[in-house]
């Protein structure tokens, strides 16, 4: 084929992708007339101002191992449902590059889009391991790890150019990779460029604009020394999607409704835009003194720039379309018919005026402009408000989480006859910089750095209302830092070793590590609400940890049996370590190392054409510190004073267990049957201690929030979250895939049927606070949350549920009559999403062209039956305001798996 | 080789530069109706028409306006400081264009709008078509709104804030606002037998004192479970009215001034109690 026809094919692809971009699911306005977020950039999200860091709940598992039939497939196959391996948070998986761990040490996670977004082609050379295997580059904990080799000499020499069209987050991707291979002078080069773009992705209101580039060079000096250098960056700008309640999806007639955008002057404008770039430089020295030893030393330096915008408001009405007062269900309680008003809108006895309002709000939701952010109105109000000389009512802020990180790793690998020893160190020193800037004043002419939530409580003249006491009443313009500004310093030093021996069919691997971590906060603003403990250094919190692992395996014929166990004590995550990190320097109470105990047994086997692997595992993870942030109804219901709150749980315990399996049947030379699956559980155990802080930070109020008063004997008990039995959410605990694979003459076909079940919706810790469960009657309309009293002398009525059974059914605490002893606590139940099937197929062909060129064309269609009812996860609302017709506990936020989506990929290698 | 680079650049060039948004010249008028029609009645007449409903705080369909009743009025008070919540106060316009400061106007309750003050500044003339809305009373004070359910353990229906969709449907801004058109009624204790006539009304009182002002007490100190604080406003001759302060007002934590004051505000009622609501902290002027 000539160059010309390839160019034509490429251009046709571009044109086709343009056409594709228009062909996405739309809402149909003709079907009408027939029904609060959030968050701070760190963790769990909530209504009102809070948004989400889209990586948190959506992080998927990516340990992959070509030799392990389960790990080879699981991450990719189940990615549509945001599957997490063994339900572990991604912070427990290590992502290494040339032996240095590039996870973000502040939150433990690895950001794929931030670090290597788009550069799939240059990060193909990977080795994935589970925790107990022999590991020549690092020491991984329960989630395993992956090491990617970036040395320029390891890339296949030649050019590769790829074009892809899709209807997912982005529409178009172009990639170019060039590797020189090792030339006779000992030099090798590799360069990769990629561009991903989508003016509007599959989800309304989202967009994607990402460019990535990688450059690597390696020099082999002699047999003993090699030096390699890699530089890369992936500047990206993208518009995010937000979760919504089922009512919102129903009103919008679409499970892909996105509240984070609206029209401005007729054009789409997203309110949650992420701008990120993490330029990284990595240098590796490979020293091979002899055939049996190797010293691999890598240093990496990265500068992470991450900003995420959010719409904010000041003495105004929450502009988020999913604010509860915008919903028709805020007009009347849809879930109860106590009140004579019924739960069927058509029969609201004698009050058609309520029906009018319900219909008016429904009609508003029925139009695209009505259910999205009303940018034009925000500008109108700001412009009109300028006449009063007051601060902006609405504005857009950008929350930054930047980082300067330096990492060093050095591993000595020594081979003996049938033994192997690795000894290594990993060092990490990171400075995290957290602040927010004024992104867009939306037409307003002024803004000052005050905490608007504190104004009515303390007044403009007070010190508490200042975010920066050393620069009070500061006027803020676009680009200025305001609100909060602090650094987090984390330093970690780890030394590890592993020793493995193979004797006959037996093999053993013993590993151990020891690590030291320090965490410190440096406040750069003296916050008025914590004047004495916000600016300056918090002092270092130091943690010493370590652990060990052992794996024994026996290989006989086509079978391998292995059993392994390990224990680890590791430092808490820096993000969770501070009581209210935006405001003050205090560490959370009871901060300590978390503990992990994990064990697994596996059998990898082959019986002729049938092969596979079965694994069982069990893990206990305790003394964990977890923090979530939310806007809460104020304690005492002081109108309008919503509070941005932090809830830190310490002593959290989670228990995991599961079975994993992979079976491959080679039916003929061309046809294979593959099945992989897992069934397991991931549950919280016990009721962790809780510490609440809020940003108004009035010491009396904070003290009152943290008191759990025993309702029977009036004494104070330590505040806890009743969380026992809650499950880890937003990952399918049951996942099975059955597939057929056929290849012939360079063509390959694959079809998979994937079944998912037991996805749980994240349970709110706020609504399960012991004090919240007890509150009864004192707040009007508080229906069924109450405490229970067990009277051992009470007459037992046959057939009637006991007090314990009642408490278990709705959640609550059971106290002993008289003494007030807390006999039992039951967490209100957690929502489980409905399971279902999604089908994928893919078809591809490899063309061998003249002069060794290879053209690969591949089309994948995922979810081709267009199942739009699969929830990938979600979260409950944190508000407990019972005295409102809108029922927060019946209105959780959900995410849905993508509707039918396709990926057409064309690659040319030459 | 060059041709491949070109293809790559071509795909790069396909980006539209979509992410710079300039401030647009938007106006509050786009949030309200364009033209509701010529006024065919007055606030005074509407109060008369619905006086039974107002007196009985009626919450049923008899309070609903079924015809095109179009009034015109001038805004006297809004949620500027957060002391007034989800409402504006409107009074009739005289034939000469001045505000009718001798007869009580009406409260218009609206929810879902961030800053009613930005859309309806004091001195803004508006026209409203009341069709589809409800006219009733709250503590016998006239208001226009829509029914809502209170959320106590035994809920009841009241007339309260109308849904935000009614801004575009029922309310029209007429011209730009003129702040000095809002002239207050000089309120004295001689007026205190005319509670039906004179509420809600924008008033001024001279020679007042706030009884609880002691140099330290604030307008509405924050307290658990409390939404508002009632203070006692003493008129020049010693008679008192209630001063109703919301704990969410921006001035809630300001210290109340002592000594003789000139106080402006919206005089409202709760049943037989006179209740003054400040529109902002500037409504309290220390007399020299």
Tell whether the model's pLDDT for residue B55 goes beyond 90: yes
Q: Do A885 and B60 touch (CB under 8 A)?
A: no
The C-alpha of B212 sits at a distance from chain A's nearest C-alpha, in angstroms, of: 18
Q: What is the pLDDT of residue A595?
A: 97
Residue A160: strand pairing partners:
A177, A909
- What confidence tier does B274 reach under pLDDT thresholds 50, 70, 90? very high
Closest in B132, B224, B253 to A459, CB measured: B253
The C-alpha of A275 sits at a distance from chain B's nearest C-alpha, in angstroms, of: 11
Q: Do B225 and A636 touch (CB under 8 A)?
A: yes
- What confidence tier does B151 reach under pLDDT thresholds 50, 70, 90? low
Contact of A412 with A496, CB cutoff 8 Å: no
- What confidence tier does B60 reach under pLDDT thresholds 50, 70, 90? confident
Q: Which of A196, A266, A339, A882 to mutate to test the interface with B (most CBs of B within 10 A)?
A: A339
Phi, psi of A386 (to 5 degrees): -60, -30
Question: What is the arithmetic mean of pLDDT over A543-553?
Answer: 96
- What confidence tier does B225 reach under pLDDT thresholds 50, 70, 90? low
Q: What is the pLDDT of residue A46?
A: 18
Q: For chain A, what is the mean pLDDT?
A: 86
Q: Report the C-alpha gap between B73 and B71 in whole angstroms.
A: 7
Q: What is the pLDDT of residue A24?
A: 25
Q: What is the dihedral of CA A285, A289, A292, A298, to 10 degrees?
A: -10
The C-alpha of A331 sits at a distance from chain B's nearest C-alpha, in angstroms, of: 7
Query: pLDDT (tens digit, 9 = 90+) per residue, A271-282?
Result: 999 999 999 999
Question: What is the arithmetic mean of pLDDT over B221-238?
Answer: 86
- What confidence tier does A883 reach under pLDDT thresholds 50, 70, 90? low
Tell whether the model's pLDDT for residue A577 goes beyond 60: yes
More confident residue, A21 or B259: B259
Contacts of A746 (CB under 8 A, 6+ apart): A845, A846, A847, A848
Q: Which of A363, A381, A637, A641 to mutate to test the interface with B (most CBs of B within 10 A)?
A: A381
Q: What is the pLDDT of residue A349?
A: 58
Q: Do B28 and A319 touch (CB under 8 A)?
A: no
The C-alpha of A645 sits at a distance from chain B's nearest C-alpha, in angstroms, of: 17
More confident residue, B130 or A7: B130
Chains A, B: CB contacts within 8 A come to 219
Q: Report the C-alpha gap between B89 and B145 in whole angstroms.
A: 12
Write down the pTM of the prediction: 0.88
Contact of A892 with A762, CB cutoff 8 Å: no
Closest in A176, A199, A354 to B149, CB measured: A354
Q: What is the pLDDT of residue A103?
A: 94
The C-alpha of A48 sits at a distance from chain B's nearest C-alpha, in angstroms, of: 13
More confident residue, B23 or A684: A684
User: What are the chain B neighbours of A698 within 8 Å (beta carbons)?
Assistant: 222
Q: Do A3 and B3 touch (CB under 8 A)?
A: yes
Tell whether the model's pLDDT for residue A573 goes beyond 80: yes
Q: Report the C-alpha gap between A642 and A597 in whole angstroms.
A: 41
Q: What is the pLDDT of residue A636?
A: 43
Contact of A413 with A328, CB cutoff 8 Å: no
Share of chain A above pLDDT 70, in %: 88
Kindly state the helix (H) or strand (E) to which residue A73 belongs, with its residue range: helix A69-77
The C-alpha of A373 sits at a distance from chain B's nearest C-alpha, in angstroms, of: 13
Residue of A nearest to B124 (CA): A384
Range with lowest mean pLDDT among A30-39, A232-241, A255-264, A885-894: A30-39
Q: Does B176 touch chain A (CB under 8 A)?
A: no
List the 228-267 stretch of B: residues with Cβ below 8 A of A. Answer: 246-254
Q: What is the pLDDT of residue A21?
A: 31
Residue with tokens 């009721």, as numbered in its chain: A687
Q: Do A264 and B64 touch (CB under 8 A)?
A: no
Tell whether the model's pLDDT for residue A188 goes beyond 50: yes
Q: Do B114 and A14 touch (CB under 8 A)?
A: no
Q: What is the pLDDT of residue A53?
A: 36
Interface pTM, i.e. ipTM: 0.89
Tell whether the model's pLDDT for residue B6 goes beyond 90: no
- What confidence tier does B283 reach under pLDDT thresholds 50, 70, 90? very high
Phi, psi of B29 (to 5 degrees): -60, -25
- What confidence tier does A632 reach under pLDDT thresholds 50, 70, 90? confident
Range with lowest mean pLDDT among A51-55, A397-401, A764-768, B266-270: A51-55
Q: Report the C-alpha gap between A616 and A659 in whole angstroms.
A: 4
Residue length of chain B: 288
- What confidence tier does A687 reach under pLDDT thresholds 50, 70, 90? very high
Q: Report the C-alpha gap between A178 and A118 in whole angstroms.
A: 15
Question: What is the arithmetic mean of pLDDT over A41-66?
Answer: 37
Contact of B114 with A393, CB cutoff 8 Å: yes
- Sheet strands (E) in chain B: 70-77, 87-92, 106-109, 125-129, 134-138, 141-149, 157-160, 171-174, 185-186, 201-210, 228-234, 240-246, 261-270, 273-277, 284-286
Tell whether the model's pLDDT for residue A22 goes beyond 50: no
Number of Cβ within 10 Å of residue A861's Cβ equals: 16
User: What are the chain A neighbours of B14 within 8 Å (beta carbons)?
Assistant: 14, 172, 197
Q: What is the pLDDT of residue A15?
A: 40
Closest in A237, A339, A388 to B155, CB measured: A339
- What confidence tier does A757 reach under pLDDT thresholds 50, 70, 90? very high
Closest in B15, B119, B226 to A384, CB measured: B119
Range with lowest mean pLDDT among A510-514, A544-548, B158-162: B158-162
Q: Do B26 and A383 touch (CB under 8 A)?
A: yes
Question: What is the arithmetic mean of pLDDT over A455-464?
Answer: 82
Question: What is the arithmetic mean of pLDDT over A142-146?
Answer: 89
- What confidence tier does A230 reach under pLDDT thresholds 50, 70, 90? very high
Q: Report the C-alpha gap between A799 and A745 in whole angstroms.
A: 70
Q: What is the pLDDT of residue A288?
A: 96
More confident residue, A19 or A846: A846
Region of residue A903 (left: phi > 0; alpha: psi -120 to 50; beta: else)? beta
The C-alpha of B190 sits at a distance from chain A's nearest C-alpha, in angstroms, of: 35
Range with lowest mean pLDDT among A165-169, A193-197, A539-543, A548-552: A165-169
More confident residue, A810 or A375: A375
Question: What is the arithmetic mean of pLDDT over A388-413?
Answer: 95
User: What are the chain A neighbours of B248 within 8 Å (beta carbons)?
Assistant: 456, 638-641
User: What are the chain A neighbours of B222 within 8 Å (beta carbons)?
Assistant: 456-457, 638, 641, 698
- What confidence tier does B227 reach under pLDDT thresholds 50, 70, 90? confident
- What confidence tier does A700 reach under pLDDT thresholds 50, 70, 90? confident
Count of CA atoms in the C-beta half-sphere (13 A) of B277: 27
Alpha-carbon distances of A488 from A89, A468, A534, A576, rounded to whole Å: 22, 18, 13, 11
Q: Report the C-alpha gap between B124 and A188 in whole angstroms.
A: 74
Residue length of chain A: 910
User: What are the chain A neighbours of B120 within 8 Å (beta carbons)?
Assistant: none
Tell whether the model's pLDDT for residue A342 goes beyond 50: no
More confident residue, A276 or B3: A276
The tokens describing A486, both together, are 């602090």
- What confidence tier does B4 reach under pLDDT thresholds 50, 70, 90? very low
Tell whether the model's pLDDT for residue A309 goes beyond 80: yes
Tell whether the model's pLDDT for residue A455 goes beyond 90: no
Range with lowest mean pLDDT among A459-468, A500-509, A546-555, A875-884: A875-884
Question: What is the arithmetic mean of pLDDT over A183-202?
Answer: 91
Q: What is the pLDDT of residue A63?
A: 62
User: What are the chain A neighbours of B220 within 8 Å (beta carbons)?
Assistant: 456
Q: Report the C-alpha gap between A112 and A104 in whole angstroms.
A: 11
Residue of B nearest to A704 (CA): B224
Tell whether the model's pLDDT for residue B150 goes beyond 90: no
Question: What is the arithmetic mean of pLDDT over A650-660?
Answer: 97
Tell whether the model's pLDDT for residue A41 goes beyond 60: no
The tokens describing A573, both together, are 């995550």
The tokens describing A674, both together, are 């593959």
Contact of A127 with A144, CB cutoff 8 Å: no
Q: Do A360 and B225 touch (CB under 8 A)?
A: no
- What confidence tier does A718 reach under pLDDT thresholds 50, 70, 90? very high
Q: Report the C-alpha gap between A12 and A170 in whole angstroms.
A: 18
Nearest to A331 by CA among A297, A357, A305: A357
- What confidence tier does A62 reach under pLDDT thresholds 50, 70, 90? low
Q: What is the pLDDT of residue A730?
A: 92
Q: What is the pLDDT of residue B19?
A: 64
List the 52-71 stretch of B: residues with Cβ below 8 A of A. Answer: 59-61, 64
Q: Using CB atoms within 10 A of its CB, is residue A482 exposed (0-12), middle (13-18) or buried (19+)?
A: buried
Question: What is the arithmetic mean of pLDDT over B42-59?
Answer: 94
Q: Report the C-alpha gap between A650 and A627 in whole angstroms.
A: 9
Q: What is the pLDDT of residue A308?
A: 95
Closest in B80, B119, B165 to A381, CB measured: B119
- What confidence tier does A460 reach under pLDDT thresholds 50, 70, 90? confident
Q: Do B8 and A384 touch (CB under 8 A)?
A: no
Q: Which of B8, B77, B132, B223 to mutate to test the interface with A (most CBs of A within 10 A)?
A: B8
């Amino acid at each position: 084929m000539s160059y010309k026809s390839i160019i034509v094919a490429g251009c046709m692809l571009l044109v086709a992708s343009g056409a594709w971009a228009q062909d996405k699911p739309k809402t149909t306005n003709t079907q009408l007339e027939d029904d609060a977020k959030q968050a701070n950039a760190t963790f769990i999200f909530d209504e009102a101002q809070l948004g989400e860091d889209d990586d948190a709940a959506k992080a998927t598992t990516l340990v992959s191992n070509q030799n392990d039939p389960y790990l080879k497939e699981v991450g990719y196959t189940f990615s549509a449902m945001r599957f997490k391996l063994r339900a572990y948070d991604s912070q427990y998986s290590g992502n290494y590059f040339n032996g240095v761990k590039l996870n973000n040490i502040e939150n433990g996670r690895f950001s794929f889009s931030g670090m290597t977004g788009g550069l799939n082609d240059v990060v193909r050379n990977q080795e994935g391991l589970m925790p107990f295997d022999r590991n020549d580059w690092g020491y991984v904990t329960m989630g395993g790890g992956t090491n990617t080799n970036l040395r320029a000499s390891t890339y296949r020499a030649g050019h590769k150019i790829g074009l892809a069209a899709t209807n997912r987050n982005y529409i178009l991707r172009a990639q170019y990779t060039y590797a020189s291979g090792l030339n006779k002078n000992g030099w090798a080069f590799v360069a990769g460029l990629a561009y991903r773009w989508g003016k509007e992705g599959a989800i309304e209101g989202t967009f994607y604009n990402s460019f990535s580039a990688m450059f690597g060079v390696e020099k082999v000096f002699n047999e003993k020394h090699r030096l390699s250098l890699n530089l890369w960056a992936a500047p990206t700008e993208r518009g995010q999607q937000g979760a919504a309640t089922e009512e919102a999806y129903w009103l919008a007639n679409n499970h892909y409704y996105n509240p984070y955008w609206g029209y401005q002057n007729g054009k789409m404008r997203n309110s949650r835009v992420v701008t990120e770039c993490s330029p990284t430089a990595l240098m590796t020295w490979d020293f091979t003194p002899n055939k049996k030893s190797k010293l691999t030393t890598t240093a990496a330096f990265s500068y992470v720039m991450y900003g995420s915008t959010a719409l904010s408001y000041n003495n105004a009405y929450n502009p988020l379309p999913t604010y509860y007062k915008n919903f028709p269900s805020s007009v009347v309680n849809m879930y109860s018919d106590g009140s004579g008003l019924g739960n069927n809108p058509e029969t609201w006895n004698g009050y058609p005026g309520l029906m009018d309002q319900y219909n008016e709000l429904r009609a508003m939701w029925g139009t695209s402009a009505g259910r999205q952010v009303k940018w034009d109105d925000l500008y109108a109000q700001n412009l009109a408000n300028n006449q009063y000389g007051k601060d902006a009512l609405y504005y857009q802020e950008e929350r930054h989480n930047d980082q300067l990180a330096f990492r060093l790793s050095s591993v000595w690998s020594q081979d003996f006859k049938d033994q192997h020893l690795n000894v290594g160190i990993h060092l990490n020193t990171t400075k995290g910089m957290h602040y927010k800037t004024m992104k867009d004043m939306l037409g307003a002419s002024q803004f000052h750095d005050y905490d608007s939530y504190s104004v009515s409580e303390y007044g403009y003249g007070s010190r508490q209302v200042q975010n920066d006491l050393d620069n009070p009443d500061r006027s803020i313009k676009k680009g200025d830092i305001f609100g909060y500004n602090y650094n987090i310093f984390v330093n970690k030093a780890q030394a590890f070793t592993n020793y493995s021996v193979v004797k006959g069919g037996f093999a053993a691997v013993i590993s151990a590590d020891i690590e030291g971590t320090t965490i410190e906060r440096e406040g750069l603003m003296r916050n008025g609400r914590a004047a004495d403990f916000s600016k300056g250094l918090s002092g270092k919190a130091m943690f010493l940890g370590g652990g060990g692992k052992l794996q024994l395996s026996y290989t006989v014929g086509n079978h391998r049996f292995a059993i392994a166990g390990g224990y680890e004590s590791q430092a808490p995550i820096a993000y969770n370590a501070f009581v209210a990190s935006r405001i003050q320097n205090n560490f959370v109470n009871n901060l300590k190392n978390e503990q992990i105990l994990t064990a697994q047994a596996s059998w990898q086997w082959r019986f002729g054409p049938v092969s596979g692997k079965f694994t069982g595992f069990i893990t206990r993870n305790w003394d964990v510190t977890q923090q979530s942030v939310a806007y809460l109804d104020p304690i005492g219901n002081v109108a309008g004073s919503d509070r941005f709150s932090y809830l830190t749980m310490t002593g959290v315990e989670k228990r995991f267990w599961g079975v994993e399996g992979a079976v491959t049947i080679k039916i003929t030379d061309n046809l294979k049957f593959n099945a992989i699956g897992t069934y397991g559980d991931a549950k919280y155990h016990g009721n962790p201690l809780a510490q609440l802080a809020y940003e108004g930070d009035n010491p009396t109020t904070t003290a009152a929030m943290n008191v759990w008063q025993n309702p029977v004997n009036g004494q104070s008990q330590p505040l806890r979250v009743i969380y026992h039995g809650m499950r880890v959410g937003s990952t399918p605990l049951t996942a099975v895939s059955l597939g057929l694979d056929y290849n012939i003459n360079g063509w390959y076909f694959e079809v998979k049927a994937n079944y998912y079940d037991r996805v749980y919706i994240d349970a709110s810790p706020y609504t399960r606070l012991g004090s919240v469960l007890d509150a009864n009657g004192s707040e009007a309309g508080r229906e069924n949350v109450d405490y229970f009293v067990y009277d051992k002398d009470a007459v037992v009525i046959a057939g009637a549920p006991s007090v314990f059974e009642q408490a278990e059914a709705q959640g609550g605490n059971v106290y002993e009559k008289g003494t007030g002893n807390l006999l039992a606590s039951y967490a209100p139940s957690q929502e489980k999403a409905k399971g279902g099937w999604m089908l994928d197929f893919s078809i591809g062909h490899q063309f061998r062209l003249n002069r060794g060129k290879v053209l690969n064309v591949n089309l994948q269609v995922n979810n081709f039956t267009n199942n739009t009812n699969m929830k990938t996860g979600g979260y409950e609302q944190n508000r407990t305001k019972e005295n409102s017709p809108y029922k927060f506990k019946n209105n959780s936020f959900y995410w849905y798996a993508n509707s039918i989506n396709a990926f057409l990929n064309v690659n040319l290698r030459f | 080789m060059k041709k491949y680079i070109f293809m790559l650049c071509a795909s790069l060039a396909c980006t539209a530069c979509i992410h710079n948004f300039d401030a647009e010249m938007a106006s509050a008028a786009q949030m309200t109706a364009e033209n509701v029609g010529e006024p065919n009645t007055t606030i005074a007449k509407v109060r008369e028409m619905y006086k039974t409903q107002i007196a009985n705080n009626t919450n049923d369909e008899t309070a609903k306006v079924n015809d095109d009743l179009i009034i015109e009025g001038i805004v006297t008070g809004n949620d500027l400081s957060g002391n007034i919540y989800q409402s504006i106060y409107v009074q009739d316009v005289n034939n000469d264009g001045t505000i009718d400061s001798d007869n009580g106007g009406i409260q218009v309750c609206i929810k879902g709008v961030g800053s009613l003050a930005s859309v309806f500044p004091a001195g803004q003339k508006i026209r409203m078509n009341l069709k589809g809305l409800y006219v009733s009373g709250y503590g016998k004070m006239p208001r226009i709104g829509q029914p809502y359910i209170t959320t106590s353990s035994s809920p009841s229906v009241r007339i309260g804030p109308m849904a935000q969709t009614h801004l575009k449907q029922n309310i029209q801004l007429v011209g730009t606002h003129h702040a000095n058109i809002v002239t207050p009624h000089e309120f004295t204790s001689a007026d205190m037998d005319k509670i039906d006539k004179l509420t809600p009304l924008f008033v001024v009182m001279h020679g007042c004192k706030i009884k609880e002002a002691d140099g330290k007490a604030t307008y509405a100190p924050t307290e658990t479970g409390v939404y508002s604080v009632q203070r006692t406003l003493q008129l020049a001759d010693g008679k008192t009215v209630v001063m109703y302060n919301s704990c969410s007002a921006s001035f809630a934590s300001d210290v109340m001034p002592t000594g003789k004051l000139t106080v402006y505000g919206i005089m409202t009622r709760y049943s037989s109690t006179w209740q003054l609501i400040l529109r902002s902290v500037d409504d309290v002027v220390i007399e020299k």
